[in-house]
Amino acid sequence: MSTKPTIALAGGTSRFDQVLSRLEHFNTIFYPVPATKEELFKDCLPGGPLANVEGLFCSWPAFYAMGGLKTEEEIAQLPASLKVVALCATGYDQFNVAAFRKRGIIVTNTPSMEPSHSGEQVADIALYLSIGCMRKIPLFEGSFQREKNSIDARRVVAQGEFDPASGQVLGGPPSGFAFGDLTAKGPARMCRNRAVGVAGLGNIGKAIVRRLAPLGVEIHYYKRSELSAEELAASNLPSDLIFHSSFDDLCAASDQLILALPGGADTLNIVNKRTLNLMPRGASIVNIGRGTLINEDDLLEALGSKQIATAGLDVQVGEPFVNPKLFGRWDIQLLPHLGSGTEDNALAAELNVIDNIENVLNGGPGLHPVN
Amino acid sequence: MSTKPTIALAGGTSRFDQVLSRLEHFNTIFYPVPATKEELFKDCLPGGPLANVEGLFCSWPAFYAMGGLKTEEEIAQLPASLKVVALCATGYDQFNVAAFRKRGIIVTNTPSMEPSHSGEQVADIALYLSIGCMRKIPLFEGSFQREKNSIDARRVVAQGEFDPASGQVLGGPPSGFAFGDLTAKGPARMCRNRAVGVAGLGNIGKAIVRRLAPLGVEIHYYKRSELSAEELAASNLPSDLIFHSSFDDLCAASDQLILALPGGADTLNIVNKRTLNLMPRGASIVNIGRGTLINEDDLLEALGSKQIATAGLDVQVGEPFVNPKLFGRWDIQLLPHLGSGTEDNALAAELNVIDNIENVLNGGPGLHPVN
């Protein structure tokens, strides 16, 4: 008699028939998002719902709110039967993957390119925020929703007083004419010829660079080692990218900084008061990497002083519980971690997770192991 | 004794020293935006401020709110001394340029490429709205500002009821998990592989296509005649663009329609109930051309029925007085005609206007005549 292996689907799945029919190959436990680590560990004890699971289908928010699994003590409390944690995400900074390896648990992720194209989708969001921040679009959008007249909206943004506390432009009697060439009394510049610095030139960073190229911007990047002409050509990247071997140098050179770095201890608060002050006055910042890359208090201070003009944040510290001060500002374009949040990616990523679980449970090393 | 020619600067200028010093070559009258045509025509009578002007430096909003100058009777009331109307804009649909020619007045515009790059800047705005509408970003932004929690924001957008009257997603207790793969219960799709139709393949349309190419979308276009392989290559466009000889065919083929057409009688209400219904259900529309291209009542009805999922409008009917129903909706991304509204373009365009006026007043045909 063949018995189906038991897996737990943590945090839910989308509603795809293709996924549900594949889950029938397993004894699948639908496990809701636990509120606390204590709740999770209790459910791992003998008799608990997770007691005998061999695989964990782990949706992105499954363990995010409770703070991930980062210590050996925590990981020791997972079921002894567990062989694979398959993440339905590219990033894995919620998990101490080395400690999982030590316990013999394989962790797999969803690669950012084929089959899901999730990295391309994150890059589309980065491009959206890049243009929005360079052209200071949210300031005009906020003003337009308030003034309800397109010329007044532009006049107010150009000539009104910027309020550091709210990040909005105050009203008052508009006078004279504005072409739209000012925002909050600072220049509104075209994208063309601006220096855009991409921090992190992995698959996502490269996809961002390919999208930026037609805008005529000057593209800088920071990476441990410079890409050769052959490597640039192989990735279909422009040959005139400007390399920086240090993050500080990239900040100093960039009218806009795009963060495409992974999270974790190495990059914690890499954008802080010191590095923000290295940037040219009136620069902008886009973050599609991880919220932890930015010290948000320092960013808010820099926005208030207009050292930084605009920020586009698809990720925030402490997601899903976001600093209330980030809301309602016209100088912050705030997205709820849209990244690759599409039907296309959900389907591809979920099928990929099942492929990874099957591979490990059949004795393989995992298709996309990260530890 | 040399006398300086008299010109009027209608609607104001930006504050550039380079422009102000060039204006010293003229006897320059700073003429504010007239409230009505009657006011303008009164000012053209003998003894009025515009009585003897030879050139008109015409900022974009100068005569927009009063409805432009479109009949021979109106144009006949302009000063007999007037030789050139130099527009600080690319579009000239506010003006009946044939009637101006008949009266012997040269009308010039600002070209969309060199020296101002204004077309490139309009294309950047188009790209921003294109990604925003395809990924349905404003729905997530609106939800995030309300829910203040990134997972709840995504859940509500995925599972909440769409309210046709407000264009927003209603709240209610979120249940289950959403990857972000749904918006207002419709699919959130990646940009890649979507069919994007560009209506109008002039300089701006071509700049839009070059920006769309790295997104991996399937690009369609509508034009009177198909571009040859040589023409495509000369404009640095992809070779696999899909040509349509009719606007109806383009609508039927496009998951997203981008309007890069000029205004005027030929294109009035080209997007209407009939053509909206030709599009695939759930399609989106971006307009960076002219507000008059779209019948806004028909668009609002199509948004309410979800035939159209999202619209990104940088231009509206009746600017600067915009239909109040367009505000406050999460399914409309509304910009106050940002187009090329940057410092870079303002400076280049204003210098170009002065070049055109000087050329005509020195006996030339104008550098960029449109009539």
Which residue among A128, A176, A321 places its CB closest to the CB of B128? A128
pLDDT of residue A175: 59
Whether residue B141 is contained in a domain is answered as no
Which residue among A120, A141, A181 places its CB closest to the CB of B14? A181
Instruction: Check: CB of residue A134 under 8 Å from CB of residue A256.
Output: yes
pLDDT of residue A121: 96
Q: What whole-number distance in Å separates Cα of residue B73 and Cα of residue B58?
A: 20
Whether residues A126 and A204 fall in one domain: yes
Q: Number of helices (H) and strands (E), helices first, in chain A?
A: 13, 16
Whether residues A326 and A352 fall in one domain: no
Mean pLDDT score, A27-54: 94
Whether residues A348 and A329 fall in one domain: no
Omega before A280 within 30 of 0, i.e. cis: no
A124–B322 CB contact, under 8 Å: no
Q: What whole-number distance in Å separates Cα of residue B206 and Cα of residue B226?
A: 13
Looking only at the bridges linking them, the beta strands covering B6-10 and B27-31 are: parallel
Active-site residue set of A: 290, 319, 337
Q: What is the per-residue pLDDT across A305-336, written as a single tens digit (0 to 9) for each? A: 999 999 999 999 998 899 999 999 999 999 99
Whether residue B154 is contained in a domain is answered as no
Whether residues B283 and B249 fall in one domain: yes
Whether residue B147 is contained in a domain is answered as no
The alpha helices in A135-227, defined as continuous H runs, are 137-147, 150-159, 203-212
Domain of B86, in residue numbers: 6-113+343-361
Confidence band (pLDDT; 50, 70, 90) for B1?
very low
Whether residue A155 is contained in a domain is answered as no
Q: In CATH, what number is assigned to the domain containing residue B316?
A: 3.40.50.720
Number of domains in chain A: 2
Which residue among A210, A320, A344 places its CB closest to the CB of B189? A344
Is the pLDDT at A41 greater than 90, yes or no? Answer: yes
Mean pLDDT score, B299-309: 96
**Residue A322 DSSP class:** -
ipTM over 0.85: yes
Taking contacts as CB-CB distances below 8 angstroms, the residues of chain A near B327 are 144-145, 148
Which chain A residue shows the shortest CA-CA distance from B62?
Answer: A177
Whether residues A199 and A328 fall in one domain: yes
Whether residue A238 is contained in a domain is answered as yes
Instruction: Check: CB of residue A181 under 8 Å from CB of residue B16.
Output: no
Whether residues B356 and B281 fall in one domain: no
Whether residue A1 is contained in a domain is answered as no
Whether residue B355 is contained in a domain is answered as yes
Give how far the C-alpha of residue A210 lies from the chain's centroid of Cα atoms, to the nearest Å.
18
Residue B45 has a CB neighbour count (10 Å cut-off) of: 12
B324–A121 CB contact, under 8 Å: no
Whether residues A126 and A268 fall in one domain: yes
Taking contacts as CB-CB distances below 8 angstroms, the residues of chain A near B132 are 128
**CB environment B257-283: b (16+ within 10 A), e (fewer):** bbbbbbbeeebebbbbeebbebbeebb
Whether residues A207 and A103 fall in one domain: no
pLDDT of residue A176: 56
B341–A214 CB contact, under 8 Å: no
- Of the candidates A141, A328, A342, A235, the one whose C-alpha atom is nearest the C-alpha of residue B131 is A342
More confident residue, A94 or A195: A195
- Of the candidates A194, A282, A297, A60, the one whose C-alpha atom is nearest the C-alpha of residue B180 is A60
A188–B343 CB contact, under 8 Å: yes
Active-site residue set of B: 290, 319, 337
Whether residues A301 and A275 fall in one domain: yes
A327–B154 CB contact, under 8 Å: no
Is the pLDDT at A178 greater than 70, yes or no? Answer: no
Which residue among A189, A324, A333 places its CB closest to the CB of B148? A324
- Least Cα separation, residue A250 to chain B (angstroms): 24
Whether residues B89 and B198 fall in one domain: no
Q: What whole-number distance in Å separates Cα of residue A34 and Cα of residue A50?
A: 12
Which chain A residue shows the shortest CA-CA distance from B153?
Answer: A336
Whether residues B214 and B327 fall in one domain: yes
Whether residues A354 and A259 fall in one domain: no
Q: What is the per-residue pLDDT across B240-297, written as a single tens digit (0 to 9) for each? A: 999 999 999 999 999 999 999 999 899 999 999 999 999 999 999 999 999 999 999 9
% pLDDT > 90, chain A: 77
- Least Cα separation, residue B154 to chain A (angstroms): 7
B149–A13 CB contact, under 8 Å: no
